[in-house]
Amino acid sequence: MSALDGVRILDMTHVQSGPSATQILAWLGADVVKLEAPTGDITRQQLRDIPDVDSLYFTMLNCNKRSITLNMKSEQGKELFIDMVQNADVLVENFGPGAVDRMGFTWDRLQELNPRLIYASIKGFGEGPYTHYKAYEVVAQAMGGSMSTTGFEDGPPLATGAQIGDSGTGMHAVAGILAALVQRNSTGRGQRVTVAMQHAVLNLCRVKLRDQQRLAHGPLAEYPNDEFGEDVPRSGNASGGGQPGWAVRCAPGGPNDWIYVIVQPVGWAPIANLIGRPELAEDPEWATPKARLPKLDKMFQLIEEWSSRLSKWDALAQLNALNVPAGRSSPPRS
């Protein structure tokens, strides 16, 4: 894409949250110049599978960028940095709090060098008691509310497989940077953009925040849980939305022989016919969403009795042929 053609990004980020943001900007057409310490981004050497080459971890987050090393502890390095800042549109960093300030480049100083500069920072936490806490992917998931609501009722909090703490924060940073670029068209000035990993995860947990507020009015009927306390419970594979959903097993019963099925009001009759229970489409005890709500576990058990005799491919095809929302469990290899 060339939407950001002519926009130059100075990328002082490392590991994942920052590089994922600048990579999106590069894919959108920006000229991203990655500034690395003389030792290089630490992820060049992390999780290497082949000796003496950059790791896949590094290349998958930093492809489509240019890269130079810069010693910000030397006067020559700082002079080069000043020259680049004066010719850049955006500076992005995800160092620990205050690191760039200690290099001698406060926001005030950067504004003096380039009033049009957009300066984006990604941190673990916003202003408050956790400002100086270190954050990694699952730390952000824990502090942002994701872990407490992920897993089954009788098990521990679980991390998600998706990188919502790192790459999820990177996407939030991209949105802020793009908004600042648009606003600069009218103001002629740059601005600060700050994103915290905890806040990004919290924003991605907005459905659970909704349910936290709803708890004040009583138990959440669409959840499979038997008991409710003061906090939104972990509810396994329940969709947590207006349309009930669950994962059901398929043949031959391997670790990913599962499909996820959503039962919309309009989809119940086709499902009832498909699973060989057409009488349930008209049965007052089953015919409406309200009637099915107290027995969602039984409903998905009936669906699983049907799906367990089919491969996930066949079950998926038959459900989608009836316009029933369903998806197979897809490992990364596929």
Q: Which positions are annotated as active-site residues?
A: 166
* 72 touches 79 (CB < 8 A): no
Please tell me the distance from the alpha carbon of residue 13 to that of residue 21, in angstroms, as a whole number. 9
Longest Cα separation, the chain: 81
Kindly give, in sequence order, each residue whose CB lies less than 8 Å from that of residue 285, ignoring residues fewer than 6 positions away: 291
Residue 145 host element (H or E)? none
* 9 touches 25 (CB < 8 A): yes
Q: What angle do CA 175, 179, 185 make, to 5 degrees?
A: 155
Please tell me the distance from the alpha carbon of residue 295 to that of residue 172, in angstroms, as a whole number. 39
* 41 touches 58 (CB < 8 A): yes
Separation in Å, CA 53 to CA 38, 42, 45, 69: 16, 13, 8, 17
Which residue from 196, 190, 189 is spatially nearest to 177, judged by alpha carbons?
Answer: 190
Helix, strand, coil shares of the chain, percent, nearest 5, are 40, 15, 45
